[in-house]
Amino acid sequence: MFELWWIYLLIGAGVGFMAGLLGIGGGMLQVPLMVFVFTAKNYPPEHVMHMAIATAMATIPFTAAASVRAHHQRSNVDWRIVRWMLPGLLAGAALGALSTGAIPGRPLAIFFTVFIFFAATNMFFDISPKSRAQLPGAIGLLCFGTVTGAISSFLAAGAAFITIPFMTWCSVPLKRAIGTAAAIGFPLGVAGTLGYVWGGWARPGLPAGTIGFIYLPALVLIVVTSMPMAPIGARVSAALPVRQLRRVFGIVLYALVGRMLYTLWQTTAQ
């Protein structure tokens, strides 16, 4: 069960460090890497993508909990936005995770790749929307939360890549938008995780060590190293040209998810 355990520790360290350094979601990097590891371990190809996304989703509550506490202490969380989006986030994340189990590996990989290419392009060109609107009311935020929760559960993302640009466009100050996105990530991660547990429960062919689609050995080891590395990455970011690094990382993401899609396409064709 714990074969290649050191790889999960390295993935966690790299994901945590890059998240702190560049402010990116761990799923963008974590999912492709776990696809490579799970494929190397000869896990059933039809479950590899689901396991990778579900395990990455299960790491979000751990990283979000530490982040939201720090942002709350600095008064950078708009709890009104969180409260209005929460029902939609929970419903969207849970339903998205449950429906993922019914999607074959190839289409799921294509969906993931398209959105990561979008995120990488945004990162490479440093696209930042200008404030042009005001926040919608409770119903508007509820609907936005539902869509955000569903998309995020498909991508194993904490929704920051969607909610921060949206809140910035709606005239929310950037630091407050970042803190609010962190607060949104925790309940979203919990709901998505439970959805993946339920959606993969008693699914035939899953390897030992899984609960639903979540591979517990990878989850534990990734969390152990990602959480202490995130603040280190945040400190290092102050001394490095982060804008240039984000462009380089955008190119790396293009290559990584492209290779992931090719790997899954080859294995599922066998």
Global pTM? 0.84
What does the pLDDT look like over 47-88, one tens digit per residue? 999 999 999 999 988 877 767 777 777 788 899 999 999 999
- The winner for highest mean pLDDT among 22-31, 115-124, 182-191 is 182-191
SS3 readout for the chain: CCCCHHHHHHHHHHHHHHHHHHCCCHHHHHHHHHHHHHHHCCCCHHHHHHHHHHHHHHHHHHHHHHHHHHHHHCCCCCHHHHHHHHHHHHHHHHHHHHHHCCCCHHHHHHHHHHHHHHHHHHHHHCCCCCCCCCCCCHHHHHHHHHHHHHHHHHHCCCCHHHHHHHHHHCCCCHHHHHHHHHHHHHHHHHHHHHHHHHHCCCCCCCCCCEECCEEHHHHHHHHHHHHHHHHHHHHHHCCCCHHHHHHHHHHHHHHHHHHHHHHHHHHHHC
- The winner for highest mean pLDDT among 33-47, 64-78, 112-126, 236-250 is 33-47
Cα 106 versus chain centre, distance: 19
- pLDDT > 70 in the chain, percent: 88
Residue reference for tokens 């790299």: 14
What is the pLDDT, as a whole number, of residue 75?
A: 82
What does the pLDDT look like over 113-145, one tens digit per residue? 888 788 778 777 766 666 666 888 889 999 999
The tally of domains found in the chain comes to 1
Q: Give the domain extent around 45.
A: 5-269
2 pLDDT band (50/70/90 cuts)? low
Higher pLDDT, 228 or 244: 228
- The winner for highest mean pLDDT among 1-10, 99-108, 152-161 is 99-108
270/266 Cα distance (integer angstroms):
7
